[in-house]
Amino acid sequence: MVNWVEAQKPILHWLVRGAGLRQQTIEIEPGTVISMWVPKEKVMAAKKKATNKEVVPDLSSDGSRDEEEDKRKKKKKQRGKEKEKPAVVLVHGFAAEGIVTWQFQFGVLVSQYEVYIPDLFFFGESTTAAADRSPAFQAECLAAALDKLSVRRCTAVGFSYGGMVAFKMAELRPDLVRSLVVSGSVFAMTDSISRATLDQLGFASSSELLMPESIKGLKALLSVSMHKKLWFPDFLYKDYLEVMFSNRKERAELLEGLVISNKDAKVPSLDQRILLLWGENDNIFNLELAKDMKEQLGEKTILQSIKKAGHLLHVERPCAYNRHLKKFLALLKDEGTEE
């Protein structure tokens, strides 16, 4: 029997490839690899670099030829810098891998930005043999992957779990992350925030909420994640459960590694420009929480909200979300924050 969620993946891959992105697997260390959709120019450049590793010596005694070659290379490098687009890294949440999460965003960004869509560990084809399950480890490895792709600086756009990874990457690597856009997330999931959120929503654990095992559980997750109550036939819920909730053991460990004690929690010291982009009806991390974060982060942070949108605002109101995102990215370009 056809799994309709699985069947749409080749179509989504075709659309992403049509937008100029290619899937790459980047090895961070033996046993640790990150799968990421990257601009096709990066793939072509890597292949060209590999084929040009063998250096042919210039046997000419005429030094002017070397000088002209150096000038040509410098001009080419300068032209490359002038054409370089600002990099935007889209970091997914806990319910789906990268391109599924950001399927309504990548198409509006690729013409003006270098778009990178990673899969965090145990989503898509990203995996690690390391025991560390913390957001900090995800952030360190994602930064290492971007380094390997020669990304000098970027705007990290994080949703929910991906927002926590983005916050951590900005804290650890301010040289790489020059600005942030975060939706439906927190700096860190503390004991108190976790307990209050679960009690409010009526769930016993994060795993029960975020890794449903039944159609009823998935319906409950979507119900608290969206402002609008959408109807889908049960077979689609069943297909989604089969495809999107793999690696259950490892993902449960990610959820365990997410929660920290209140005494260990601290507001990160961030100097980047930050946009907190929120759904006004977010039932998981509400707007009041976002307002508190804005006050804690300081004057370089702005908070904008979208009406009639819940936690999944980028899916529920994609046009409104994209307008806010593009306006913020354009502001960064105008101010010269992105190079």
Reported as a single tens digit per residue, the pLDDT across 82-104 is: 468 999 999 999 989 999 999 99
Residue ranges of the domains in the chain?
4-41+83-189+262-336
Q: Find the Cα–Cα–Cα–Cα dihedral 73, 77, 78, 83, rounded to 10°.
A: 140
Return d(Cα 298, Cα 187) in angstroms, integer: 14
Instruction: Summarize the confidence of residues 161-190 as an average pLDDT.
Output: 96
d(CA 30, CA 302) in angstroms, rounded, equals 40
- Band of the pLDDT at 50, cuts 50, 70, 90? low
295-309: pLDDT as tens digits: 999 999 999 999 999
> CA 245, 280, 292: angle at the middle one, nearest 5?
95
The reported pTM is 0.89
* Of 168 and 46, the one with more pLDDT: 168
H/E element, 315: helix 313-316
Report pLDDT digits (tens) over 189-204. Answer: 999 999 999 999 999 9
The distance of Cα 310 from the centroid of its chain, to the nearest Å, equals 19
pLDDT digits (tens, 9 = 90+) for 218-272: 999 999 999 988 888 999 999 999 988 889 999 999 999 999 888 888 888 899 9
pLDDT digits (tens, 9 = 90+) for 273-283: 999 999 999 99
Confidence of residue 75 (pLDDT cuts 50, 70, 90): low
DSSP string covering 72-126: HHHHHHHHHHHHPPPEEEEE--SSS-HHHHTTTTHHHHTTTSEEEEEPPTTSTT-
Model confidence at 80: pLDDT above 80: no
The domain 4-41+83-189+262-336: what is its CATH number?
3.40.50.1820
Q: How is residue 311 written in tokens?
A: 């936690």
Look-up of token digits 């929503």: 201
Which pLDDT value is given to residue 56? 47
pLDDT at 339 over 60: no
- DSSP 8-state assignment for residue 204: S
DSSP state of 312: T
- Cα–Cα distance measured from residue 120 to residue 137, given in angstroms and rounded to the nearest whole number: 10
- Per-residue pLDDT at 5: 87
What is the tens place of the pLDDT at every residue in 5-15? 889 999 999 99
209-216: average pLDDT: 94
* Structural Rg of the chain based on CA atoms: 22
Give the pLDDT confidence score for residue 55 in this predicted structure: 47
pLDDT in tens, 52-74: 654 444 544 455 556 666 666 56
pLDDT score recorded for residue 295: 95
Query: How many of the other CB atoms lie within 10 Å of CB of 204?
Result: 9
* Predicted local confidence at residue 82, as pLDDT: 47
